[in-house]
Chains A and B, each alone.
Chain A
Amino acid sequence: MTRLAPNGVLDVKALRGEFPVLARDIRGKRLSYLDSAATTLKPLCVINAVDRYYRHGTANIHRAVHLLSEEATGLYEATRTAACQLLNAADEREVVFTTGTTGSINLVARSFVKPRLKAGDEILLTGMEHHANIVPWQMICEETGAKIIVAAINDDGSLDLASFKKLIGPRTKFISCVWISNALGVINPIKEMIDAANAAGVPILIDAAQAVAHVPIDVQTLGADFLAFSGHKLFGPTGVGVLWGKLQHLDAMPPMLGGGDMIKTVTFEKTVYADAPAKFEAGTPDIAAVIGLGEAIRFVTEDVGFKAIHSHEESLRNKAEAALRDVVNLKIIGTAEPKLPIFSIVMGNIHPHDVGSILDSYGVAIRTGHHCTQPLMARFGVQATSRASFSIYNNEEDIENLVKALWKTQELFA
């Protein structure tokens, strides 16, 4: 059911009713959930889809001819169709289900990139990567003698695009970069980055973990080679994500895990692998989560839509930014535009964990720490920040509660 008012604007009040967690009382206070960059809340329709599979139709997929198995297989594959449409992929076979962004990146690192690496080769990343887009590359570099090159971040949190382009050279064998920074909310000029990679003939992966719930994605227009996201940041269940890859790449890649569901024939002498994507989906996957993800994609594209998401989130960003500007002794790291309503806050000498605890006592849930981006924190000379991240179900009351709790924090430690 659409969650837009007749004028096309998000009906936030009705939408909030879809998210049961928002009705919870947190230490006697209304919940202001401002940690959607870590994981989004789940709407009832997604919870129900997962529940329905367990309650009404549990079966394994791709394995039996009985009705329940056929239904489960149908729902599982329907999510592939939905993900294909969400990304505007050219072919459903380009959509591989993984355990999440981390699983997707590791698969590409192991199966696509590592066999192409030799000592002295380079992998280009940016200085704002999540550890999930650093560690897998370090692991294969250690094994091959290749090395990681890092494009610099400007003082306002934006990528130094010129340095990024200059770092693409004859030794660059792969580029992997984040579309939207989870720590700062800054949106990278992803199309220009991909064009630069393409011009140099270097394959590129886009970490779309933070992008997927906020901006429309069209992999054909983007022209990247791989793109990864997690279902749980798109109002879907944990435990499932997507790797999109160009079919020619997926066809050329060896599988990472061997087992059931990824074969054509098995004898003890030799196994013939199935084609992509089945080749990468060995074993029984998290079927319920995949089905839930299908419902989440339907929810976000049909009930809400990216146009309404964008205008609501821009309005939240402007209001929150203005309100935060008034709080004394408060600095936001990462002010470059365009950006999402994600605010990485530093409050003088007050430790982020103290900020987090005080805010929690006011029902305001934020993330404190390094946000799995330690190199980026080091770039800005901090150990940690307090991060408030907004999503479609947040409203002005959440901004008010955040700002009020930040003021209380100031008073307490003044």
Chain B
Amino acid sequence: MNQAASELYQSTVLDHNRSPRGYGELSGTTHSAEGFNPICGDRVKIQVIVGQGAIKEIKFTAQCCALCRASASVLTEVMGGQPLSFAKSLSLSFQSFIQGDAQPAADLAKSAASAFFAIKDYPARAKCVLLPWHTLSSSLTDQLTVSTEPKE
């Protein structure tokens, strides 16, 4: 594989795409949201059970590209069981690293999410990776749908 493709589609990413973790529906969800990218048609649904200030369970369903699916899978893996405060700061760090100038927080850099860091150099695909993360954030703030594009 050549360099650009191997940066974007690292083995972790391919593996999560092939056998996504946390895929499916939850019952007894306390928070959920759907994310949609109208540009490419990607759709993600994130369902969460929050209790005692932590994400007790998290699952997703999706119709989307490999980057988006792998990102959602990694998201459920790194967020499961974590305190809400950790989930929020990790999300924030990921988003501001990918779309801004911020350095990744230490927790983020050593998490599986670091497999997506190369996306920073491919802005056209950054939305694919970020969609599940945006969707989780909005579910936690009880916004029911989220779009990668501005509201009309």
Residues of A with Cβ closer than 8 Å to B?
27-29, 350-354, 357-358, 360-362, 368-370, 383-384, 408, 412-413
CB atoms of A413 and B4 under 8 A apart = no
Is there a chain A Cβ closer than 8 Å to B106's Cβ?
A: no
29 sampled A-B residue pairs with Cβ under 8 A: A27-B2, A27-B4, A29-B2, A352-B65, A353-B40, A353-B65, A353-B67, A353-B128, A357-B5, A357-B67, A357-B122, A357-B125, A358-B5, A358-B9, A361-B2, A361-B4, A361-B8, A368-B40, A369-B40, A370-B41, A383-B40, A383-B41, A383-B63, A408-B1, A408-B5, A412-B1, A412-B5, A412-B14, A413-B18
Q: What 1/0 flags go to B48-71 for Cβ under 8 Å of A?
A: 000000000000000111110000
A369-B8 contact in complex given A354-B66, A354-B67, A362-B2, C-beta closer than 8 Å = no
A146 shortest CB reach to chain B, Å: 24
CB atoms of A351 and B65 under 8 A apart = yes
CB atoms of A357 and B1 under 8 A apart = no
Which residues of the other chain, A, contact B40 by a CB distance below 8 angstroms? 351-353, 368-369, 383-384
CB atoms of B64 and A351 under 8 A apart = yes
Which residues of the other chain, B, contact A362 by a CB distance below 8 angstroms? 2, 5
Cα A29 to Cα B9 in complex, Å, equals 18
Cα A413 to Cα B5 in complex, Å, equals 12
Residues of B with Cβ closer than 8 Å to A?
1-5, 8-9, 14, 17-18, 39-41, 63-67, 122, 125, 128
B2 shortest CB reach to chain A, Å: 5
CB atoms of B39 and A369 under 8 A apart = yes
Residue of B nearest to A384 (CB): B41
CB atoms of A350 and B5 under 8 A apart = no
Residue of B nearest to A358 (CB): B5
Cα A29 to Cα B2 in complex, Å, equals 10
A413-B14 contact in complex given A28-B3, A361-B5, C-beta closer than 8 Å = yes
B36 shortest CB reach to chain A, Å: 12
Cα A60 to Cα B20 in complex, Å, equals 61
A377 shortest CB reach to chain B, Å: 9
CB atoms of A350 and B66 under 8 A apart = yes
Cα A199 to Cα B137 in complex, Å, equals 60
Cα A221 to Cα B3 in complex, Å, equals 53
Residue of A nearest to B5 (CB): A361
Which residues of the other chain, B, contact A383 by a CB distance below 8 angstroms? 40-41, 63
Cα A384 to Cα B39 in complex, Å, equals 10
Which of the listed residues B2, B5, B122, B125 has the most CB atoms from chain A within 10 Å of its own CB? Answer: B5
